[in-house]
Amino acid sequence: MPGKQHEVKFRFLAQPTDVNFGGKVHGGMAMKWIDQAGYACAVCWSGAYCVTVSVSGIQFVAPILIGDLVTVRARLIHTGTSSMHLAVDVLARDMRSGEQRLATSCVMVFVALDSPDGKPTPVPHWEPRDESERQLQAQAKRLLELSRGMEQLVDVPFSQKD
């Protein structure tokens, strides 16, 4: 039911196929997990097919190793008419020591569509419930303003720059 679930968590173990030759998870693999969790959260909130519009401020803070318990948490922090801003964190827990660390974080924007190749469709409004969520929403609004300013700077199609 749309408008009910504003947070999604994925949990799994980092596999040997996820890592590079140094034994650490590829940044691209973490980005894939972020996109999957973000998509699931956006669909749960909107009840519609969603597309990724942007990923902002991605930070790779600490490595994820083979065997770490990975938690990818995506949570809604702002809604527009058809858009949803999500804070996404990737946590890694060493299963032997129990130590948990923040590995990656970012803010994502998804837009709900009325069909896979359709037009933007309205999403339920979201309101922050506490001070932490109000701060995250304020950050999402600042990022939105920054991205609007950036759009004005890069309005020339790539094919015209060559």
CATH of 7-154, one of 1.10.260.40, 3.40.50.300, 3.20.20.70, 3.10.129.10: 3.10.129.10
Terminal C-alpha separation, the chain: 47
Query: pLDDT tens digits for the chain (162 residues)?
Result: 787 899 999 999 999 999 998 989 999 999 999 999 999 999 999 999 999 999 998 999 999 999 999 999 999 999 999 999 999 999 999 999 999 999 999 999 999 999 878 899 999 999 999 999 999 888 888 888 877 766 666 555 555 444
pTM score of the predicted model = 0.87
Q: How far is CA 15 from CA 23, 67, 85, in A?
A: 10, 6, 29
Q: How far is CA 78 from CA 41, 42, 45, 75, in A?
A: 13, 11, 11, 9
Alpha helices in 47-157 (DSSP H): 131-153
Using alpha carbons, select from 94, 98, 100 the residue that is nearest to residue 73: 100
Using alpha carbons, select from 145, 158, 33 the residue that is nearest to residue 89: 33
